[in-house]
């Protein structure tokens, strides 16, 4: 494939097939780490910028300021580099060092908020307030506000959903993480639009409050919504059939298992989605086609999820997860 710019490589990511032991379901892992910025968020970063250019919210030479756990910011930094915008990412300590280093490498600038938060707490409200205030104070600035921006959600409707149906013909069950809801709901809308009857299943960390429940801190980064943070406007609850909760140890030990047994390095939210999806698919009878959307790669988490000392010091090592997964696949 010959392309003219890096954004032409966004999308058309591969599907890795895995087999279940206890039924005839076919399972496909949609590997979004193969986007140029290493996550599915490249898709929405490009769309949010292109739509803002079209309707004049973003003008040549402008500055883009966004609150992000890191992946959206990496996507925005890449698109900004190509299109010559200044880019400022407002992050908190849930953004891993690797993500921050990548944003900087693409020429993005970093503002860190929420210094007084604990390691497993997310400062979403502070991030969003800061990005909004900065964009209001600065001339020719644009705050995409991914949580409430429908161009985030629509970025997946005619790309990811289409890719799945072009490749697989049918999808009976779709599993994805949920943070802003852009990827899960956007893909779900695209599947429905194309006549698919797939069940839509979303996974958030234990402690995230998107479906009610008790809010408490969690380490899975980029996914879920912490206590007190407003519910993103782009979540379409009507199209979601079922929601699940992944514990940090389930998520991270799944990542470590897949790296060692399948040579597949995935990120923490992807580990949580994978564990809960496989558990659910294992409980099914008969046959069907399931797609599990894996948001990003493990390269961005080498200093935590794949670091034995960090895992041990946070009491997250759990070898039972390996045995549980081995009973399923």
Restricting to residues 267-326, name those near ligand PLP by CB under 6 A.
267, 269, 295-296
Q: Is 177 in the site for ligand PLP (CB under 6 A)?
A: yes
Coil vs helix vs strand at 38: coil
Closest distance of CB 182 from ligand PLP, Å: 4
| CB distance 283 to 25 below 8 Å | no
Q: Is 182 in the site for ligand PLP (CB under 6 A)?
A: yes
Q: Is 222 in the site for ligand PLP (CB under 6 A)?
A: yes
Question: Among 7-15, 55-63, 177-185, 278-286, which window interacts with ligand PLP (CB under 6 A)?
Answer: 177-185
Question: Among 26-34, 49-57, 172-180, 243-251, which window interacts with ligand PLP (CB under 6 A)?
Answer: 172-180
* Residue of 184, 198, 265, 290 that binds ligand PLP (CB under 6 A): 184
Give just the sign of the alpha carbon dihedral 202, 205, 206, 210: negative
* Residue of 88, 171, 178, 292 that binds ligand PLP (CB under 6 A): 178
Pairing of strands 86-91, 63-67: parallel
Q: Is 223 in the site for ligand PLP (CB under 6 A)?
A: yes
Task: Tell me how far apart the alpha carbons of residues 168 and 93 are, in angstroms, rounded to a whole number.
Answer: 39
Question: Among 14-22, 179-187, 282-290, 321-329, which window interacts with ligand PLP (CB under 6 A)?
Answer: 179-187
Q: Which residues are catalytic?
A: 41
Task: Tell me how far apart the alpha carbons of residues 182 and 178 are, in angstroms, rounded to a whole number.
Answer: 8
Task: Tell me how far apart the alpha carbons of residues 118 and 110 are, in angstroms, rounded to a whole number.
Answer: 20
Task: Tell me how far apart the alpha carbons of residues 44 and 227 are, in angstroms, rounded to a whole number.
Answer: 25
Coil vs helix vs strand at 191: helix
Q: Mark residues 68-87: x for contact with ligand PLP by CB under 6 A, - for none.
A: -x-xx---------------
Contact partners, residue 132, CB within 8 Å, separation at least 6 = 143, 145
Instruction: Tell me how many residues contact ligand PLP (CB under 6 A).
Output: 20
Restricting to residues 36-55, name those near ligand PLP by CB under 6 A.
39, 41
- Side by side, the strands of the sheet bearing 141-142 are 109-112, 86-91, 63-67, 141-142
Q: Which residue is nearest to ligand PLP (CB)?
A: 222
Question: Among 16-24, 171-179, 191-199, 312-320, which window interacts with ligand PLP (CB under 6 A)?
Answer: 171-179
Task: Tell me how far apart the alpha carbons of residues 24 and 284 are, in angstroms, rounded to a whole number.
Answer: 9
Coil vs helix vs strand at 322: helix
The residues that touch ligand PLP, with contacts defined as CB under 6 A, are 39, 41, 69, 71-72, 177-184, 221-223, 267, 269, 295-296
């Amino acid at each position: 494939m010959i392309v003219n710019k890096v954004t032409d490589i966004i999308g058309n990511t591969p599907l890795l097939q895995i087999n279940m032991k206890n039924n005839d379901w076919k399972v496909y892992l949609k590997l979004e780490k193969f986007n140029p910025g290493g996550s599915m968020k490249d898709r929405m970063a490009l769309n949010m910028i292109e739509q803002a250019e079209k309707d004049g919210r973003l003008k040549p030479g402008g500055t883009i300021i966004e609150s992000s756990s890191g992946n959206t910011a990496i996507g925005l930094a890449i698109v900004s580099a190509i299109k010559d915008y200044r880019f400022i990412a407002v992050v908190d300590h849930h953004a891993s060092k690797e993500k921050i280093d990548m944003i900087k490498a693409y020429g993005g600038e970093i503002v860190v908020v929420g210094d007084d938060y604990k390691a497993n707490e997310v400062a979403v409200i502070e991030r969003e307030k800061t990005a909004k205030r900065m964009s209001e104070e600065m001339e020719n600035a644009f705050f995409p506000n991914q949580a409430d921006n429908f161009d985030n959600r629509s970025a997946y409707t005619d790309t990811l959903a289409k890719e799945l149906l072009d490749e697989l013909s049918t999808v009976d069950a779709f599993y994805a993480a949920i943070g802003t809801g852009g990827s899960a709901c956007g893909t779900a809308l695209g599947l429905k639009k194309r006549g698919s009857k797939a069940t839509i299943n979303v996974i958030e960390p234990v402690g995230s409050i998107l479906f009610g429940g008790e809010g408490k801190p969690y380490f899975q980064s980029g996914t879920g919504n912490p206590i007190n943070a407003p519910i993103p406007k782009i979540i379409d609850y009507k199209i979601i059939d079922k929601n699940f909760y992944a514990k940090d140890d389930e998520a991270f030990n799944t990542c470590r298992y897949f790296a060692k047994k399948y040579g597949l390095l995935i990120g923490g939210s992807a580990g949580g989605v994978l564990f809960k999806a496989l558990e659910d698919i294992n409980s099914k009878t008969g046959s069907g086609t399931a797609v599990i959307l894996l948001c990003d790669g493990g390269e961005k988490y080498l200093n935590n999820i794949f670091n034995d000392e960090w895992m041990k010091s946070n009491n997250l090592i759990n070898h039972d997860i390996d045995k549980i997964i081995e009973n399923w696949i």
